[in-house]
Structure 1
Amino acid sequence: MRRIIIRVSTVAALTALMGMGAVGLGAGPVQAAGNKPLPVPGVPETLASGLLSPLSLTLGSSQSVYFTQNFAGSLDKLDAKGAVSTVYQASVPGHEVGAVSSRFGRTYFAENAGAGEDPAPNIGIIKSITSAGKVRSIADVAQYEATHNPDASVTYGFRDLDAACLQQIPDTLPGSYTGVTDSHPYATEPGLFEIYVADAGGNDIVAVNQFTGRVRTVAVLPPSITHVTAALAASFGLPDCAAGHDYYFEPVPTDIRWGRDGWLYVSTLPGGPEGAALGARGSVYKVSPWFSTVRLVASGLVSPTGLAVSRSGDIYVAELFGGQISVIPRGTSTAQPFLAVPLPADVAIRGGTLYATVNALPGDGTPPAGQIIKVPLNTGDENYPSMNQYDD
């Protein structure tokens, strides 16, 4: 219930539930702030296919794309000619590689193991690699989590049930607990001196000084709150005494990107079951990189696992199990459908083009079918100054 770790064995059922096939377009345009229309996206073009769990991507120089195949433990590069090459392989077989980002000719990523698998050793090493292939380990945010546990004082589960009622809560659902020690760096975003990390296990944003390796807490994200009705209690096997109370699920940050306003934009899963029973509970927040301030931007998303902010300030969100890429137009707080695609995991923007990983999770017994696609946005972003050194 608590972690971003996605088990391959569950994916086939989720894919069947979605009932989606090849890449398709959204139904029509949406309206941005001030009634400015966002046009229907252009025709998607597939750049790479046959990928195993491409859960993270970033844009490099010379029209290149870096992406991770998390379950395969590899960081790969797609060049402008369409050739794919592996630039880093996990140092230990079975380790996950993910959380890729780029800045100033250097690519950052995370090598993970043991998240949510106590007592297995938990590592979350933030690394960098140069264009020449030189790899450097910068810091282990799992070690920081083990010694600091930033959400240790946060109470999850029920906060106001009496002891008698808590004893009736099924073992499958933690009745009440405080933040535990766990780390799974799932996304990175470099600044001038620090690398900002969305830690899906720690429920927080931390910053790593890329020169000294010092780690600090930027912000602990707010819990995802679900009001337990009588019907909901019955459907989940909860006692009658739980009805009418709120359940505080852990937040699970999945991506982090700079916005035009100097804030960090973060997508979060709700930390509980993804499905119709509890509704669309994923969110996007904006986080001050220095003052621990967290503000809600939009909610009502289905498993948001990746986001990108366009030059004009629109936010594009990959809703993994929602089967679509949505857009939150600048100045609004409501996500609207933009592009229907199967199992989108991450998005990135270069100028007026959106890049995305789709079909990102394999089904049981099926060969890898992950893809990288690009889609013209045609939103007028070419009229805005570049936010990305690689907008070429």
Structure 2
Amino acid sequence: MRSTRTIIAAAAAAALALSLPTAASADSPPPPPQEWSSQLGAPFSIALDGSRVYVADGATGTIGQLQPDGGIAPVVEGIPGLTGLAIRGATMAWGSSVEDGSTEPPVILESGLNIRGPKGAVVYADLHAYEFANNPDAGNVYGITDPNPCVVEASGGAPLSYTGLKDAHAYNVASWKGEWLVADAAANAVLRVTDSGQISTLAVLPPVPVTLTAETAGMLGLPACAAGETYYVEPVPTGVAVGSGGKVYVTTLPGFPGESASQGALWQIDPRSGSVTQLASGLSGPTSAAVKGGDVYVAELFGAGVTKINGGVSSLYAPLSGALSVAVAANGTVWAATMDLAGGPGKIVSIADGKVRVNGNLVR
């Protein structure tokens, strides 16, 4: 599976050209977003520690801390392929990946979770090695599993389906019961990682059925008679969040041909069995999730902004073009960051009823 960075880049042009459906408006709209900074490139993740606000900027490879004046003070720099970020007390964890940029699409050579303890020592959990040793989604079948005779004949014997490939890409991270959860966008799984770097599989996300059109069939190199066929795409886990009682939520941004259309979904994982239940669908490029009480907030990169989901019902919470990440504080303040798909600066905003304070004192 291609890295989520590649998915975002490939889908951006298509998403900008599409008229995507938006979520229904909430009954009681929240206050308008308050912009704090426009000094970001690709803010893949927001992590909160009380009133301290941290941002993982994949464009610069920097974990920064938001300052009251809107500045972003660097905390950790020079991280290759920086994506997800999470904080638990004095411990911080972030995802990183190394790509071979000479190939198209780029091939990920390394991917893992970096866990920095209170004394600054960093443990590296090698998700790439774990994927190649275990391949959690090997049991998933993608592509056309029951092709019509025309498609079979036109393929000339070429395979029309495949099982899970060996590929890793650490994306978002969450703290969970003294461990870490990683949404691996290429492994199509949510992984558990201990502070000592031990890795196991919490859950594998299922293939996503997409009905092919003549256009998408052609883009896949399939004949016109493949239109109407069901193509099972890779789910691509992106956001992972933990709610009350240790409930685990994950968003998926399916691979092509579901990446630029509204094929994204929100799922809940049963940690005891690893089974997953879909809570909401029709999301447009969901890349991040956060939970407060019974509300799940989802950043939709290609949608209307931040969507709130409660009981399976979706409503627009905050209109934000290019919403890339979201987090919610204990007091209910929602933080979100955006990426400009046209290449401009990304922003970080807060949504709250009262005055929002930011603690800029650095804890490195």
Give the TM bin, normalised by the shorter chain. Answer: 0.7 to 0.9
2:199 match? 215
- 1:60 corresponds to: 49
- Contact 2:177–2:246 (CA under 8 A) maintained in structure 1: no
| Amino acid in the other structure paired with 1:371 | K
* Other-structure match for 2:6: 6
- Name the residue aligned to 1:369: 345
Give the TM-score, by structure 1 length. 0.79
Closer/same/farther in 2, CA of residues 196 and 119 from structure 1, 3 Å limit: same
Counterpart mapping for 1:194-213 below 5 A? 194-211=179-196, 213=197
Q: Distance in 2 between matches of 1:112 and 1:223?
A: 24
Structure 1 residues 103 and 143 mapped into 2: Cα distance closer, same or farther (>3 Å)?
A: same
- The equivalent of 2:237 in structure 1 is 253
1:88 to 55, 76, 86: 76
Q: CA RMSD in A?
A: 3.3
Equivalent residues of 2:259, 2:285 under 8 A apart: no
Counterpart of 2:6 in structure 1: which amino acid? I
What is the CA distance between 1:259 and its match in structure 2? 1.6
Pick aligned residue for 2:334 from 343, 350, 354: 354
SS in 2 for 1:109: strand
Matched position secondary structure for 1:124? strand
2:34 and 2:349 in contact (8 A); partners too: yes
Find the counterpart in structure 2 of residue 342 from structure 1: 321
Is the counterpart of residue 192 in structure 1 residue 177 in structure 2?
A: yes
Mapped to 2, the partners of 1:184 and 1:222 lie a distance apart of: 17
C-alpha contact (below 8 Å) 2:186/2:236 kept by paired residues = yes
Mapped to 2, the partners of 1:244 and 1:9 lie a distance apart of 27
Any idea what the Cα deviations from partners look like across 1:239-289, whole Å, max 9, x if unmatched?
Answer: 35534532100001111111224221001012123577xx41100000122
Q: 2:277 aligns with which of 295, 300, 305?
A: 295
Q: Over residues 47-92 of structure 1, what are the superposed CA-to-partner deviations in whole Å (9 max), with x where a residue is unaligned?
A: 111211111111123x11111111221111114554421111235x
Which letter maps to 2:337?
T
| Residue equivalent to 2:162 | 177
CA contact (8 A) 1:115 1:184 kept: no
Identity %: 31
Corresponding pairs, count: 349
User: In the alignment, which residue of structure 2 is the partner of 1:138?
Assistant: 124
- SS at 1:160 equivalent: coil
TM-score between both structures, scaled by the size of structure 2: 0.84
**What residue is the counterpart of 2:37 in the other structure?**
48
For the structure 1 residues 86 and 64, does the alpha-carbon distance in structure 2 shift closer, same or farther, using more than 3 Å as the test? same
1:187 match: secondary structure? strand
Equivalence for 1:388: none
Letter in 1 for 2:110: I
Q: Offset at 1:298?
A: 0.6
- Structure 1, unmatched stretches of 5+, are 20-25, 31-38, 379-392
Structure 2 Cα separation of the partners of residues 18 and 131 of structure 1:
46
Q: 1:97 aligns to what SS in structure 2?
A: coil
Q: Which amino acid aligns with 2:307?
A: S
Alignment partner of 1:151: what SS? helix
Q: 1:212-241 CA distances to partner (integer Å, 9 max, x unpaired)?
A: x21111111011101346787579774355
Residue aligning to 1:148: 134
Equivalent residue, structure 2, for 1:306: 288
Match of 2:57 in 1: 69
Q: Does 1:157 align with 2:143?
A: yes
On the 8 A contact 1:44/1:373 being kept in 2, the answer is yes
Aligned with 1:114: secondary structure?
strand
Residue 239 of structure 1 is matched in structure 2 by 223
Of residues 126, 140, 143, the one that matches 2:113 is 126
